[in-house]
Structure 1
């Protein structure tokens, strides 16, 4: 991916109110861009440390972190959690809290978008920071979230655990009109879908009844990673102290695309609206994560 595409995909993950303050490709030297294109990020890292412009610094730090995550994913290698987190932490800390998009996802975690490329679905790539914590419970309907927690994705989903523990349960879901215990729901988004992390959605019953059976129970700790193939059913929950857990999370279409994604829910419900709390100040949680991650050996 070119430097410009990477830059554009990061810039769009900042709040609209700072759009005019974000850097353009003209703010970066030709030597720095050439180094980036050749896989050499030393100039970019040096630049990110020296620049006094907070948005140039934030975006530059984020480019370094995103390339680190993408490399670990594409090469199936271990992600340097401490180094990658340091870049993201510095990227978030240097800018006003109002410049960061943060909202509660349908599964009850705080979602902070870091990078999104969707110019064509064959190259779709979406990377976010996910944070679970008991303090977030007031922002969403926990009962509804648990009721609609088993779901699939249209793309390969991969998570790298930063803090806490994540339980990932996998399920076999088969259409069955006799021995049934649930229904499949599709998720329909409102017209602000193109606004990153800023939309409501409705789970609509397809009236296809299914039998659901759990087939695994996996527990992941910091420095571990797991993925869910597109079209496969799973459910993830936090087991961190006071509910605190965090992951880097990515969607990528490079390993295939499912035609639809589904959520499993009660047969007697026709539809359920999912409201997302927007613009949550994540400063306290970010600082908690940083204290924990800095303490890792």
Structure 2
């Protein structure tokens, strides 16, 4: 169930993240004011909203969809509830549809590439006195071999975080980190993180960043790998505040997640990045990506459909249903041949072609 109070809270953050105007948001506020104490399933809210907003412009409808999806997953996270594959599919379908809107996508201009290598699309941003209160983003690692700043993979977050896997496979590594007195004993140094949205970088979080900077604090540590967990489609995992971790994604594969930072579930102000012992600082500029959120959403949806087709093909193959397997793998191949995304998904197309070749030769 999703409360109207949660949707009202989320709406301001969606407006900030999407750079929506007051005129775009006002109809949503008026709609929610009609249901001050309501608690409804996601699909009921969706039907109500789209009936109410039938006379409004496309932007307002798409903002409503983003707020619904973010509010739903935020509430599931706070209540520590498992999100089913069907629920995640519905939430993603709302976000995917909204990001295809020209008005919403153009407001973002382009996605930005983080120091960890993924492309980030902000969906909700609530920051209080420079500290993250609630951040919700789409994260996409493209099959482009770009996987972030080497040497700075291990990091921690101030707020509690949770990730829902939309497509592909990623590995989350967790570490124990202990201080040492001398540099010679250390594996890493702690770096302090700051952000800029155009001016001098400081420790106040910025929703729309131009660059981030880490500075060596000369606090030396030993980092030891404690565990690794592989996560794939429809799975979810949590990262506690100040927990050191790193994400690993195959450089030739797409991996996409919906990701939330939520300080109400934990916040630790000193959450450093680990880096080389002998560097002074490192600056990562966020404006290197020329890809639109709309394009990224299409890529994610294509790979999600590709995964379904490939899974069906493998099942048919195992059951000896050769013609059905060929049909499924052929559909997977065709999904990757759309002119707008073919170059970026050629690895996926080839994987489908390889399966077809094996079947034809058998």
* TM-score, scaled relative to structure 2: 0.72
1:2 Cα offset (Å): 5.6
1:215 Cα offset (Å): 0.8
Which deviations, in whole Å up to 9, do the C-alpha atoms of 1:101-157 show, x marking residues without a partner?
6211111101011112224789811111100013373xxxx5x61211100110111
2:229 alignment counterpart: 218
Question: Which of the pair has the greater relative contact order for Cα pairs under 8 Å at 6+ separation?
Answer: 1
User: Cα distance 1:163–1:247, how it changes in 2: closer, same or farther (>3 A)?
Assistant: same
Measured on the aligned residues, the alpha-carbon RMSD in Å equals 2.7
Q: Per the alignment, in what secondary structure is the counterpart of residue 149 of structure 2?
A: helix
1:287 paired with 2:295, answer: no
Structure 1 ranges of 4+ moved more than 6 A: 120-123
Equivalent residue for 1:85, pick from 92, 97, 104? 92
1:23 Cα offset (Å): 2.5
Aligned equivalents of 1:194 and 1:268: distance in 2? Answer: 26
User: Cα distance 1:218–1:155, how it changes in 2: closer, same or farther (>3 A)?
Assistant: same
1:185 alignment counterpart: 191
Aligned equivalents of 2:301 and 2:209: distance in 1? Answer: 26
1:252 paired with 2:262, answer: yes
Q: Per the alignment, in what secondary structure is the counterpart of residue 291 of structure 2?
A: coil
Gaps of 5+ in 1: none
Aligned equivalents of 1:58 and 1:92: distance in 2? Answer: 8
1:283 Cα offset (Å): 3.2
Which runs of structure 2 are paired with 1:260-271 in the superposition (5 Å)? 260-271=270-281
1:105 alignment counterpart: 114
2:58 alignment counterpart: 54
Gaps of 5+ in 2: 199-203, 313-362
1:228 alignment counterpart: 239
* TM-score, scaled relative to structure 1: 0.86
Which deviations, in whole Å up to 9, do the C-alpha atoms of 1:30-80 show, x marking residues without a partner?
5x5443741225255343363551111111111110121112202222221
1:149 paired with 2:164, answer: no
1:130 paired with 2:139, answer: yes
Aligned equivalents of 2:38 and 2:48: distance in 1? Answer: 16
User: Cα distance 1:236–1:201, how it changes in 2: closer, same or farther (>3 A)?
Assistant: same
User: Cα distance 1:48–1:95, how it changes in 2: closer, same or farther (>3 A)?
Assistant: farther
Equivalent residue for 1:45, pick from 47, 61, 65? 47
User: Cα distance 1:195–1:123, how it changes in 2: closer, same or farther (>3 A)?
Assistant: closer
2:166 alignment counterpart: 162
2:316 alignment counterpart: none
Q: Is the 8 A contact 2:165 2:231 kept in 1?
A: yes
User: Cα distance 1:121–1:190, how it changes in 2: closer, same or farther (>3 A)?
Assistant: closer
Aligned equivalents of 1:179 and 1:27: distance in 2? Answer: 57
Deviates further, 168-177 or 190-199? 190-199
1:205 Cα offset (Å): 0.4
Which protein has the larger Cα radius of gyration, Structure 1 or Structure 2? Answer: 2
User: Cα distance 1:267–1:288, how it changes in 2: closer, same or farther (>3 A)?
Assistant: same
2:282 alignment counterpart: 272
Length, aligned pairs only: 287
Q: Is the 8 A contact 2:111 2:119 kept in 1?
A: yes
